[in-house]
Structure 1
Amino acid sequence: MSCLGNLIWMIFGGIVNALGWLFFGVLWCITIIGIPIGLQCFKMAKLQLAPFGKDVVTTDDGGVSLIMNILWLIFGGLFMCLANLISAVLLCITIIGIPFAMQSVKIAKLSLMPFGKDVV
């Protein structure tokens, strides 16, 4: 069932938002200091393409993840969060779209603070 959900998800907005994650990942990878942030953006793009059947767990990385989350929130996190929230609102128009909207809200929450999180 998650395979079908992921396929429908890609068609109705997953690819567009994943391209946003890829864009920010490439921008961050241009600088040497931003490579860890860019790699996390690529992980989030992968999650954005196929969110069904995956869970997000919190890992304890200490203060480094806090600093990275603050940088990310200022330079891209708000934009990705808003994009996912707009997707969620559009998907909630129909009853069939509600599970997809819930996945979009999950990713929007993750868009604000992606560091210190792992996708399993």
Structure 2
Amino acid sequence: MRTLLNIIWFIFSGLWLALGYYLAGIICCLLIVTIPWGIAAFRIGNYALWPFGREVIETKPTGVAATLGNIIWLVVAGVWLAIGHVVTSIPLFASIIGIPLGWANIKLIPVSLMPLGKEIVDSDSLMPGYRGA
């Protein structure tokens, strides 16, 4: 079932969202100082390509630097990527088959707003009963 959902996701929104994340990552890497955000954008872009079967979890507290980094990301790119998730989720909710895809889009919004201090893991590797962020 995951594979089928991932294929449908890839066609209707995953590719376009991933391209947005990759563009943000390229811009961040070109600016040198913002390479950590670029790496986070590439990581989230890979997650946006194939989200079913993976979860976002919080890593250990990362401190003031990550908090400031998340605030900068939020202003520069996070809001725009989150808007992209909302816009692509609306038509997905219009059909019965698209509802899980719309929810997956909504599930990506928190990590698109604050990517630093988060990790993307396979759902199978999580402890039983544990759900990520």
TM-score tier by shorter-chain length is: over 0.9
SS at match of 2:31: coil
33-42 or 108-117: bigger deviation: 108-117
Question: Aligned runs of 1:15-30 on 2, under 5 Å?
Answer: 15-30=15-30
Residue 112 in structure 1 maps to residue 113 in structure 2 = yes
Which residue of the partner structure matches residue 124 of structure 2? Answer: none
Residue 77 in structure 1 maps to residue 78 in structure 2 = yes
Separation (CA, whole Å) in 2 of partners of 1:115 and 1:30: 19
Separation (CA, whole Å) in 2 of partners of 1:87 and 1:48: 12
Q: Which has the larger radius of gyration?
A: 2
Q: Which runs of 5+ in 2 are unaligned?
A: 122-133
**Post-superposition, which runs of at least 4 consecutive aligned residues in structure 1 deviate over 3 A?**
none
Q: Which runs of 5+ in 1 are unaligned?
A: none
Separation (CA, whole Å) in 2 of partners of 1:20 and 1:109: 16
Offset of 1:109 from its aligned partner? Answer: 2.1
Identity across the alignment (%)? 37
Separation (CA, whole Å) in 1 of partners of 2:92 and 2:12: 8
Q: Which amino acid in structure 2 is aligned with residue 71 of structure 1?
A: I
Query: TM-score scaled to structure 1, two decimals?
Result: 0.96
Q: Kindly report the root-mean-square deviation, in angstroms, between the aligned alpha carbons of the 2 structures.
A: 0.8
60-69 or 35-44: bigger deviation: 60-69
Question: Aligned runs of 1:10-89 on 2, under 5 Å?
Answer: 10-59=10-59, 60-89=61-90
Q: Which has the higher helix share?
A: 1
